[in-house]
């Protein structure tokens, strides 16, 4: 049973550029969330996708956008990169029903460095 997978593993970008990160959820999961983890901090919720729509959003600017595909995979896009966007970006997936919908499983993350 494949867990949550993310690509790429590492990425280096320059200020002002745009980046796309990808996530495939755990088998049987239909909801994907994205988190940003700055160095030495706990993860911060960016947004969640279900049925190809953004359902919840954290306190992140519009430069952060996403997409979910019919196969439940998801992309996170960040435009006009700032140095402060350097972080580990984590994707998490969950099932949609019952108490299990509170239980999220995380991928290994994409380490983004903005120079």
Partner 1 sequence: AQSVTQPDIHITVSEGASLELRCNYSYGATPYLFWYVQSPGQGLQLLLKYFSGDTLVQGIKGFEAEFKRSQSSFNLRKPSVHWSDAAEYFCAVATSSNTGKLIFGQGTTLQVKP
Binding region for partner 1 (CB under 8 A) = 4, 6, 31, 33, 35, 40-45, 48, 55-56, 58, 90, 92, 99, 101-109, 111
**Residue 114, token pair as written in the block:** 């903005």
Closest approach, Cβ 87 to partner 1, in A, equals: 13
Quick one: which of 106, 72, 69 has its CA closest to 89?
106
Closest approach, Cβ 44 to partner 1, in A, equals: 8
Question: Are the C-beta atoms of residues 85 and 12 closer than 8 Å to each other?
Answer: no
Query: Exposure pattern of 9-29 as b/e (b: 16+ CB <10 Å)?
Result: eeeebeeeeebebbbbbbeeb
Closest approach, Cβ 5 to partner 1, in A, equals: 10
**Residue 115, token pair as written in the block:** 């120079």
Closest approach, Cβ 28 to partner 1, in A, equals: 16
Comparing CB distances to partner 1, the nearer of 17 and 109 is 109
**Residue 103, token pair as written in the block:** 């239980």
Comparing CB distances to partner 1, the nearer of 16 and 96 is 96
């Amino acid at each position: 049973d494949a867990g949550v997978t993310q690509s790429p593993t590492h990425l280096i970008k320059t200020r002002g550029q745009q980046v796309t990160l990808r996530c495939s959820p755990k088998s049987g999961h239909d909801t994907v969330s994205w988190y940003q983890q700055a160095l030495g901090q706990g993860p911060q919720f960016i947004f969640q996708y279900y049925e190809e729509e953004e359902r919840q959003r954290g306190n992140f600017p519009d430069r952060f956008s996403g997409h979910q595909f019919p196969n439940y995979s998801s992309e996170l896009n960040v435009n006009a990169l700032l140095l402060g966007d350097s972080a580990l970006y984590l994707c998490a997936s969950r099932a949609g029903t019952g108490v299990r919908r509170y239980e999220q499983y995380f991928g290994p993350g994409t380490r983004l460095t903005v120079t």
